Amino acid sequence: MIRARCCIPALTGNYLFRMVFLIMTIWLVNGCRTTPPAVSVEVEKPEEVEAVVETFEIEGLDRLYTGSGLEYAVVEPGSGVALEREMYVSLHYTGFFDDEKTVFDSSRQRGEPITFILGRNMVIPGWEEALINLRVGDKARLWIPSHLAYGKEGRGPIPPGADLVFDLEILDAASLTRPEPFSVEGLDTLDTESGLQYIMVREGSGNTPLNGQIVVIHYTGFLTDGTMIDSSVQRNEPFRFVLGTSQVIRGLDEGITFLQEGGRARFIIPPDLAYGDRGIGPVPPASVLIFDVELIYIEN
């Protein structure tokens, strides 16, 4: 999918969808998404946070415990909608170690909230578990054990086995509408030498892109059981990348070359042209992926 730049330690580098913190993010057109499952994520070490970032005052607050080892406290309750899986969530966060002095990342310092889809492993497990107990407007402190964060491996400035603390403010959340898959009944499936298959859903009338050109597309990716892994359509954010430079998975890089501007196609991508035996985020190892793609235009 798309090669994302992950700057948020809470991100897992798993999805493909374009996210401020990734893209990882995320997400799935490359991994911390955005995420995206069509995305292959390249995690870069976050820049050091130089300024002191103010943390929440938690004296006298009750900690709530979960069976997994996660602890959290609502510092200031909000009055917005309760968070649920498959919501597009926007929040500010500050991450630090338990002494509350060593800040390793902060969206507040950058002045940019992060956005991601809850329930798709676009963030560390500790966030996923805590957020479904919160609502829009909440300010909360999370104490996350290492096995719900980066485990024995660590990442960037986070050492192996580190327990992490996060202050979160939930800014907004909205339910997502699932994009409808392309109708391909009665259409021919075409084979290529690489193993990629494609179904031309609508012929375009513009130019055909060449490697090295910037293309702008909409895409929705699925597993073969119909599970959606990522969608620029759902985010209402077309995806832009340089064709033929490995910014997306190989199957998409190849498939886009069969389209003209305005054209639509379904690509059936074998594992060796996607994520192979390793998988990523919501994509299991050795998965065949299905992408419905529209080539919107080619940038001059």
**More confident of the two residues 173 and 235:** 173
Neighbours of 265 (CB within 10 A): 24
Residue 264 β-bridge partners: 202, 294
Q: Which pair of structure tokens corresponds to residue 125?
A: 């497990």
Residue 3 and residue 39 in contact, taking contact as beta carbons nearer than 8 Å:
yes
Angle at 207 between CA 245 and CA 209, to 5 degrees: 10
Q: What is the pLDDT of residue 45?
A: 42
Which of these, 9, 10, 20, 14, lies nearest to 48 by C-alpha position? 9
Asked whether the predicted pLDDT for residue 185 surpasses 90, the reply is yes
Residue 59 and residue 150 in contact, taking contact as beta carbons nearer than 8 Å:
no
Q: Which pair of structure tokens corresponds to residue 231?
A: 């969608």
The pLDDT of 222-226, averaged and rounded, is 95
What average pLDDT does the structure give for the chain?
Answer: 84
**What's the distance, Cα to Cα, between the start and end of the chain in Å?**
23
Pairing between β-strand 164-175 and β-strand 228-231 as defined by DSSP bridges = unpaired
Neighbours of 171 (CB within 10 A): 16
- Which has the minimum average pLDDT: 48-52, 110-114, 126-130? 48-52
Which of these, 38, 26, 40, 55, lies nearest to 114 by C-alpha position? 26
Asked whether the predicted pLDDT for residue 23 surpasses 70, the reply is no
> What is the distance between the alpha carbons of residues 285 and 250, in angstroms, rounded to a whole number?
16
The pLDDT of 133-149, averaged and rounded, is 97
Q: CA of 211: how far to CAs of 24, 155, 260, 289, in Å?
A: 24, 34, 14, 22
Structure confidence at residue 7 as a pLDDT band (50, 70, 90):
very low
Q: Which pair of structure tokens corresponds to residue 12?
A: 């897992």
Dihedral over alpha carbons 171, 172, 173, 176 (to 10 degrees): -130
- 77-123 pLDDT, tens digit each: 999 999 999 898 999 999 999 766 789 999 999 999 999 889 988 89
Q: What is the pLDDT of residue 176?
A: 82
The pLDDT of 156-184, averaged and rounded, is 93
**More confident of the two residues 121 and 251:** 251
Helix (H) or strand (E) holding 125: helix 125-131
Give percent of the chain with pLDDT exceeding 90.
Answer: 69
Q: Which pair of structure tokens corresponds to residue 67?
A: 């069976």
Asked whether the predicted pLDDT for residue 152 surpasses 80, the reply is yes
| Sign (positive or negative) of CA dihedral 240, 241, 244, 247 | negative
**More confident of the two residues 51 and 129:** 129
Asked whether the predicted pLDDT for residue 20 surpasses 90, the reply is no
Asked whether the predicted pLDDT for residue 197 surpasses 80, the reply is yes
The pLDDT of 269-293, averaged and rounded, is 94
**More confident of the two residues 181 and 54:** 181
**More confident of the two residues 49 and 266:** 266
Structure confidence at residue 54 as a pLDDT band (50, 70, 90):
confident
**More confident of the two residues 40 and 160:** 160
* Domains within the chain, CATH numbers bracketed: 67-175 (3.10.50.40), 190-298 (3.10.50.40)
Asked whether the predicted pLDDT for residue 30 surpasses 60, the reply is no
Q: Which amino acid is at 240?
A: R
Which of 27-31, 41-45, 225-229, 265-269 holds the top average pLDDT?
265-269
